[in-house]
Amino acid sequence: MDLHRYPSPTHDPIKTRIAAIRSLPGPEYVFLGVGSDEVIDLLMRVCVAPGKEKIMTTPPTYGMYAVCAQMKQAVDADPSIKLIFLCSPGNPTGTLIPLAAVRALLEYENFKGIVVVDEAYIDFAEEDASAASLVKEYANLCVMQTLSKSFGLAAIRLGIAIAHPALIQILMNTKAPYNISTPTAALALSALSPEAVRSMHQKVSQLVTGREWLLNALSTVRALGLGAAIGGNDANFIMVPVLEKNGSGKPDNSRAHSVYKTLAEEEGVVVRYRGSESGCTGCLRITVGSKEENETVVRKLSELLEKL
């Protein structure tokens, strides 16, 4: 590794492997950023005029077609919207956005901007679910992916934008000259080899099996006040509501936060409290772990819900 030299400004071998994995025509459809954060920052800078134009994001969603209709209404009411950010699968809902819903936004004639689909968790969903398959048809689409989740390489900070070559070139012209370091590039190239990609898919398959086990196991805790999983369950986590202890069936933020806090501080089990987000009252997001970790979180949850 030639660390005494500046890194490549383009990293075409990495882009070529990504293009092959995602069935793209070539590396000209791929941009590499310092995590998805850089991709988001660049899109905002090149697509939105400060103080004049706007960005639209969506809260956690369960039914994307209704949200799509609301977005069209918002665009009609405010043509200054130039970027629409979607998350598929969603975080924390794990809901996959149907490609038909994405197409509907891309083809909406009143929207004169870019639709951005964040697919950080896409490898945990069904095959052919990625909106990357649409970039050859739509110049107003940008799909963000990452090596942080399914590839397990969050520390190397490599984000990916997949889009029409014209938009990719604009991002290339705007980024810092040597944004991706040589060590990051070397690790990414290795992770994207055919052998490593096969290994990733095997591990994802194991995780999906664990996800199904965890969903079934959590359903046995219903009598203690844990609701049914919410969302599409197409990511590497599950979101469940903690309900009021009196059996009303209503989500309970206070009880959920107590469970979250006690698990972390006394039991060494970390889940995410999501009760403060729109539509997620009383919810905890539980990441799918190893067999032992999954069994532990179910056991600890059961014990706590009996007491709290």
Q: Is the pLDDT of residue 61 over 70?
A: no
Q: Is the pLDDT of residue 62 over 60?
A: no
Q: Is the pLDDT of residue 63 over 80?
A: no
Task: Enumerate the β-bridge partners of residue 118.
Answer: 87, 144
Mean pLDDT of 76-83: 94
Three-class DSSP labels, the chain: CCCCCCCCCCCHHHHHHHHHHCCCCCHHHEEEECHHHHHHHHHHHHHCCCCCCEEEECCCCCCHHHHHHHHHHHHHHCCCEEEEEEECCCCCCCCCCCHHHHHHHHCCCCCCCEEEEECCCHHHCCCCCCHHHHCCCCCCEEEEEECCCCCCCHHHCCEEEEECHHHHHHHHHHCCCCCCCHHHHHHHHHHCCHHHHHHHHHHHHHHHHHHHHHHHHHHCCHHHCECCCECCCCCCEEEEEEECCCCCCCECHHHHHHHHHHHHHHCCCCCEECCCCCCCCCEEEEECCCHHHHHHHHHHHHHHHHHC
Q: What is the mean pLDDT of the chain?
A: 95
> What pLDDT does residue 68 have?
76
CA distance 132 to 116: 11
Contact between 132 and 160 (Cβ < 8 Å): no
Here the tokens at position 61 are 């969603």
Contact between 29 and 143 (Cβ < 8 Å): no
The pLDDT tens digits of the residues spanning 214-257 come to: 999 999 999 999 999 998 899 999 999 999 999 899 999 999 99
The pLDDT tens digits of the residues spanning 34-52 come to: 999 999 999 999 999 999 9
Q: Is the pLDDT of residue 84 over 60?
A: yes
CA distance 269 to 282: 18
- Among 39, 24, 28, smallest CA distance to 135 is for 24
Pairing of strands 30-33, 114-118: unpaired
Phi, psi angles (nearest 5°) of residue 138: -125, 120
Domain annotation for the chain: domains and CATH numbers = 12-192 (3.40.640.10), 198-307 (3.90.1150.10)
How much is the pTM? 0.94
Q: Is the pLDDT of residue 72 over 60?
A: yes
Q: Is the peptide bond before 59 cis (omega within 30 degrees of 0)?
A: no
> What pLDDT does residue 59 have?
78
